[in-house]
Amino acid sequence: MGTVILGIESSCDDTSAAVIRDRRLLSNVIAGQEVHIKYGGVVPELASRAHQQNIVPVVDSAMKEAGVSRHEIDAVAYTRGPGLLGSLLVGSSFTKGFTAALGIPMIEVNHLQAHIMVHFIQSEISPGPAPTFPFLCLLVSGGHTQLVVVRDHHSMEIIGRTIDDAAGEAFDKCAKLLGLPYPGGPHVDRLAREGDPLRFSFNKPRLEGFDYSFSGLKTSFLYMLRDNVKEDPAFIEENKADLAASLQKTIIDILLNKLRRASSKTGIRQIALAGGVSANSALRAAIGEEANRNNWELFIPPLAYTTDNAAMIAITGYYRYLEGYFSSDDVTPLARMYF
Q: Which helix (H) or strand (E) holds 295?
A: none
The pair phi, psi for residue 75, each rounded to 5°, is -165, 160
At residue 25, the 3 state secondary structure works out as strand
Asked if 31 interacts with ligand KG4 (CB under 6 A), we say: no
Tell me which of 143, 160, 197, 301 binds ligand KG4, using CB under 6 A. Answer: 143
Tell me which of 10, 92, 141, 239 binds Zn ion, using CB under 5 A. Answer: 141
Q: Find the distance separating the first CA and the last CA of the chain, reported in whole Å.
A: 32
Which residue lies nearer to ligand KG4 by CB, 10 or 263? 10
Within positions 153 to 172, which residues make up the interface with ligand KG4, using CB under 6 A? Answer: 168, 171-172
State how far the Cα of 92 lies from the Cα of 77, in Å rounded to an integer.
Answer: 9
At residue 107, the 3 state secondary structure works out as strand
Asked if 86 interacts with ligand KG4 (CB under 6 A), we say: no
Q: Which amino acid is at 13?
A: D
> Which of ligand KG4, Zn ion, none has residue 131 at its interface (CB below 5 to 8 Å by kind)?
none
Within positions 182 to 201, which residues make up the interface with ligand KG4, using CB under 6 A? Answer: 183-186, 189
232: left (phi over 0), alpha (psi -120 to 50) or beta: beta
21: left (phi over 0), alpha (psi -120 to 50) or beta: beta
Using alpha carbons, list the distances in angstroms from residue 248 to 119, 212, 242, 312.
25, 16, 10, 26
State how far the Cα of 339 lies from the Cα of 333, in Å rounded to an integer.
Answer: 15
Within positions 257 to 286, which residues make up the interface with ligand KG4, using CB under 6 A? Answer: 275-277, 279-280
Asked if 142 interacts with ligand KG4 (CB under 6 A), we say: yes
> Which of ligand KG4, Zn ion, none has residue 116 at its interface (CB below 5 to 8 Å by kind)?
none
CB atoms within 10 A of CB 125: 11
The nearest distance, CB 275 to Zn ion, in angstroms, is 6
> Which of Zn ion, ligand KG4, none has residue 245 at its interface (CB below 5 to 8 Å by kind)?
none
State how far the Cα of 21 lies from the Cα of 301, in Å rounded to an integer.
Answer: 20
CB atoms within 10 A of CB 155: 12
> Which of ligand KG4, Zn ion, none has residue 301 at its interface (CB below 5 to 8 Å by kind)?
none
Q: Could you tell me which stretch among 71-79, 87-95, 152-160, 181-189 binds ligand KG4 (CB under 6 A)?
A: 181-189
- Nearest C-alpha neighbor of 8 from the set 111, 104, 103: 111
> Which of Zn ion, ligand KG4, none has residue 191 at its interface (CB below 5 to 8 Å by kind)?
none
Binding mask 303-322 for ligand KG4 (x = CB under 6 A): ----xx--------------
Which residue lies nearer to ligand KG4 by CB, 6 or 12? 12
State how far the Cα of 147 lies from the Cα of 68, in Å rounded to an integer.
Answer: 37
Asked if 308 interacts with Zn ion (CB under 5 A), we say: yes
Which residue lies nearer to ligand KG4 by CB, 96 or 176? 176
Q: Could you tell me which stretch among 136-144, 172-180, 225-233, 329-337 binds Zn ion (CB under 5 A)?
A: 136-144
The residues binding ligand KG4 (CB under 6 A) are: 12, 141-143, 168, 171-172, 183-186, 189, 275-277, 279-280, 307-308
